[in-house]
Structure 1
Amino acid sequence: MVIGKKWAGKLYGTNTGNVYATLEGNDTDLTGRIHLNDLEYGLVVYAVTGAFDGQRLSLEGEPEKPLADVELGKLEAQAVLNPRGELEGEWTTSIGSAGTFVLFSHDRIGGVDEESGVKQEQLHTARHNFGAVAIDRQQITDLAMEVQSDFKQTRVVITVLAGTEKTRLLDDFKSATFKDERATIFKIFARERQPSGIDRIVVIEFGPEVNFAMTQCADEAWALGMLEKLKNSIGPLERKYATSFRRFGFGINQLLFVGAIVYLPSLTELPFRVALMVGILGIIGFVTWVHRRFLPFAALFLVSKPKGIIAKSFPSALSWFIAVSAAVVATFLARFLEGLIPIVP
């Protein structure tokens, strides 16, 4: 990983103040300047040299010019790049002063506007909504590990809502013990600061209302490619429910409603038309309730999910059985109101 060239932040310890650092050259042979605006003694500029190994930054240097009546020693600093893309570390001088510091990247990227010549930042976001899914703890772990393989400087975080909300790092999640067998929400989150100063982000969430994956980065190719990789991994976990035909963007409820509207002109009496619409809305509400009660949009298991052909196919089969039954009842209601199906005492 190439370290950023411009950093700004705070210095703490025996001296406090604002810091601005510029670095040039290769990671193994860095040169630069550190501008320290000490709250008590004023501005000091250090010429520094150092190296960065992809995780740890080492710097040493001396002041470019002395301050009147102020002793300035040789500076040494060590910092680590944290999961948020910040440099956190400690500093010391040869005269005994010491403390800690934190620096934030201030590099910028992007294209250049041809008319103004001003450099513009570019941020690309890709998102995909999934249908109903069934996923267990091992599968969510495998998915998180797949995300982790693209994030070298940060650790993936997994959030589980099961009674209470629990957030753990991936390694802690692997060894954690849960008293519940099912969860309400699974969420995977990873965020890593790039040398450009813009974060690279992945968010995956499974829940009762929406299942989605989102990627965001200054690199459009990475955002789209990462999303495609996640779609390929999550796709096999989707369930085919009759309430949503993903290929066409509608489900059985929409078909029932459209069918009722098409059939309305066949009924000559206003009360019959009202009865048809009320009946169809009632059927739609029943189908929705059954799916929410017995066929959740996200079946999330903190243990291994049921295996076998029956366990795998039963939810989809039940969904289609409910859909067909609803269509039969709706047809019977329409034909009865039209008088084509008499009720025999």
Structure 2
Amino acid sequence: MCGTLGNMTTDTPARLLQLLSLLQTPREWPGGELSERLGVSRRTVRRDIDRLRELGYPVQATKGADGGYRLVAGKAMPPLVLDDEEAVAIAVGLRAGAGHAVEGVDEASVRALAKLEQVLPSRLRHRVSTLQAATTPLTSGDGASIAPETLTVIAASVTGRERLRFAYRSGDDTPSQRLAEPYRLVSTGRRWYLVAYDLDRDDWRTFRVDRIAEPFATGVRFTPRELPTGNAAEYLRQSMYGRQETYDFEVAFAAPAAFVAARLPKWFGAPEPIDERNCLLRSSAGDSVEWLAVRLAMVDCEFTVRRPAELVECVREWGGRLTRAAGGSEDGSEGGTGGGAGDGAEGGRREGRGVRAG
């Protein structure tokens, strides 16, 4: 929740929620900036701060020409609808997901993690760190792992509109120091990327977050610039595809379009419904055909690759290899598949799913 909402001057509960959302970003907010964001007078801001304190939120004020406010960790959790165990569980889950760029754990979840850890009492913070340090995941994503602290620092800088300084390692291992105005964090499901305006190069850039080290919020505020594409995800897509060779692909799925869309990365686009039980996906990719073949198989239904020829051949080879691994013959006489393109999502998800190449 950011920006000025027109009805905030009269809708006190909504204004208090927006004020609380701003304060939960780990930074100090000058009274004048809060007044501008909320569209109310500074006197109203002071009254709203007093209301939050009466509700148990530990808001700390600083003196000065403008004055500032910060939400700090208190002796107990503020009156959120969470007990200690729930708060620890949520923090651990968000940290684990954020560290591996799990699909669906996007920038909003990282912002939520930053807010939660900002107000956790030290005893709960210690429990979160201890539990995560003692836990080893059985599986991990196919992208690089990232320290959750790196993501929360970047997310706080994005929300607080603070310039960010960090060390960066390029693809050829060239080190550099960067000063940037962070715009958005974008998760591709495999990796996290930061879309930011690089002040040293005077241009927009995308940075792989697993190559960022020692991020530091400078405290210098900035007014967000207009992104050329207007959308961070689209800018990242164009930036990535502009630097690498891409190819178009076409795949038919024996499942409803909504079922398939929920199990594929959003940047693939929306599948086109053929009928209620089948759909067609036309998209492009820059990853290897081997990775794409595995990703398509993870949709968990029957599918047929129509093009390109390289992907068709890759799927055929993978299919034969997996069939042999299961003790069957390549013609499917043992452990083969049942059901054709009309079997739908349920038929396609039973044991022995079919994959057709070409």
TM-score for both structures, normalised by structure 1: 0.23
Larger Rg: 1
- Of Structure 1 and Structure 2, the greater helix share is in 2
Highest RCO, 1 vs 2 (Cα 8 Å, sep ≥ 6): 1
- Of Structure 1 and Structure 2, the greater strand share is in 1
TM-score for both structures, normalised by structure 2: 0.22
